[in-house]
A = this chain, B = another copy of it.
Amino acid sequence: MKPIALDAMGGDHAPRVTVEGALLAKSQGIPVVLVGPTDTLKEELRRQGGDLPIVEAPEYITMQDHATDVRKKRRASINVCMEMVKQKEASAVVAMGHTGATLASALFNLGRIKGVDRPTLLIELPSERGRTYLTDGGANVDCRPEWLVQFAVMATAYAQAQGVENPSVGLLSIGEEEEKGNELTLKTFPLLKATPGIRFYGNVEGRDIFKGTTDIVVTDGYTGNVVLKLSEGEARTLFKWVREALSGGSLFTKLGALLVRGALQGLRARMDPAEYGAMPLLGVEGPVFIGHGSADGRAVQSAVRKARAVVEAGLVERVRAGIAQLAV
């Protein structure tokens, strides 16, 4: 397998954490190429005492740049990563941070899979049944019903590439009944019902996301982005309150808090975005993964590992086949 092209200059703490993550991935036997300014990356590798192949990219996109700047900075690291996938020199792109620029660069360099109107960002959230795949995570704020159908098909392909046999699809709404919802979901429901190759469950509600009622939850990118950020924010607040409740009580409570610390840390790890690593961008002609801009080395490693696994499972071929079925 060709190596993963890692945009070594993406995210808030690049290139320190990207190099860290790439070295961790290498130690697990996953081949990674760092893409960015050679001098900067050599210096960082020397500092960390590791060695990795580098592909030169003289420019890069910062968090302050606009998504459209990928057209101006043609030799930006993210563009070079995409070009490598296009030329089959790399098997996937992993970039931490700047979602808009990565999306723009993927569209510009790789293009869409035939039949896909809009690529979608897929999010993974922890659930009582394992995890919930949520689409769209914010790439498409205002959506048409047919786009949601395509999201459902692409998310199904992704879940299958991750080993979910026959993933169920729920449409995020405000009631279980078919006639409950907003204009978009009311139009989308009958389309999903008639879509081949997916297992449509019907409407689901906000409470079903963590319950894990369905494997996949489909919604527009505005709502999906609100869901993602709310669920992260709520988890952070609740853990903070648990910590406060345990540290602020009586001596007995404090003693108890010491004894349960390990168990609670295990639980926090389960909620940790680092565990999920990166979100796939589905619907472009190549495997592209976007991680948290605030990622640490371990999150970068997870992202690379995840990219490798789904590429091996034939992600893009699966998405192509699913979308092709829609045209029949």
Contacts and interface: CB of A to CB of B under 8 A. Distances in A.
A182 B263 contact: no
B255 A259 contact: yes
A230 B259 contact: no
Interface residues of A, number: 61
Given A257-B260, A260-B246, A206 B230 contact: yes
Q: How many copies does the complex hold?
A: 2
Nearest to A220: B182
A321 interface: no
Interface stretch (A89-97, A234-242, A275-283): A234-242
Q: Does more than half of chain A's interface fall in helix, strand or loop, or is it mixed? A: helix
A172 B234 contact: no
A174 to B, nearest CB: 4
Contacts of A141: 174, 181-183
A181 B246 CA distance: 39
A206 B182 contact: no
Interface string A35-63: 00000000000000000000000000000
Given A235-B238, A264-B242, A226 B255 contact: no
B174 A240 contact: no
A296 to B, nearest CB: 19
A146 interface: no
Given A206-B226, A211-B233, A253 B259 contact: yes
Interface string A301-327: 000000000000000000000000000
Nearest to A238: B238
A-B pairs with lowest CB-CB distance, top 4 = A256-B259, A206-B229, A207-B233, A206-B230
7 contacts: A141-B174, A141-B183, A241-B267, A241-B270, A245-B264, A253-B260, A253-B262
Interface of A: 127-128, 138, 141-142, 172-174, 181-183, 185, 205-211, 219-223, 225-238, 240-242, 245-246, 248-249, 252-253, 255-264, 266-267, 270-271
